[in-house]
Amino acid sequence: MILSDWDIRVYLEKNLLVIKPIYPDTIRENGVDLRFGEEFCRFPKRSDVVVDTRNHRIDEILKCEKTTREKGFIINPLEHVLAVTHEWIELPHDLIGFVNLRSTFARYSLYIPPTIVDAGFRGNLTIELIGGSIPIKIYPGQRFLHLIFARTSSPVYKPYSGKYQSQKGVTPPKPG
């Protein structure tokens, strides 16, 4: 079952779901909108380094930078970028999150792969953005994600406790 704005408010009021900070326009009809943080990481256009998903750390070839609400950040055509949410979230053991790009950004030709937030996850979300056919300038603080919560039929037996638990800022993939 997908949570309504009413359900989300109840979860927040009971401190079962945590979203910090929360703004007047965060809670939507059937989910929450999250904002760009200030950190972005670019994948190289081309690299001679082979990234071994078992042993090599991709953060050695990522180029990360912080920006401001005034300066912004440009995503080039077909470029892959890691972005982080401004908000810290904590999901209880009976909610999962479906991450969607807000339609405004999709209409600018940006794309994100399907992304799920597991029950029990806590941290900032790191999201991959893929540029379309034209350069797009984005700004920290803009609402770019819509997170829809679904209640599981019962609390999960084994809540998320993986390698990305409590991540802060852009978190590149970790081997293993």
Catalytic residues: 128
Beta pairing, strands 95-101 & 80-90: unpaired
Quote the CA–CA distance of 144 and 41 in Å, as a whole number: 17
Query: What CA–CA distance (Å, rounded) separates 122 from 37?
Result: 16
Neighbouring residues of 168: CB distance < 8 A, sequence distance ≥ 6: 88, 123, 124
Residue 164 in tokens = 């990305």
Closest CA to 37 of 146, 167, 126: 126
Contact 96, 2 (CB under 8 A): no
Nearest to 135 by CA among 169, 110, 153, 162: 110
HSE, CB side, 13 Å, CA atoms: give it for residue 171. Answer: 13
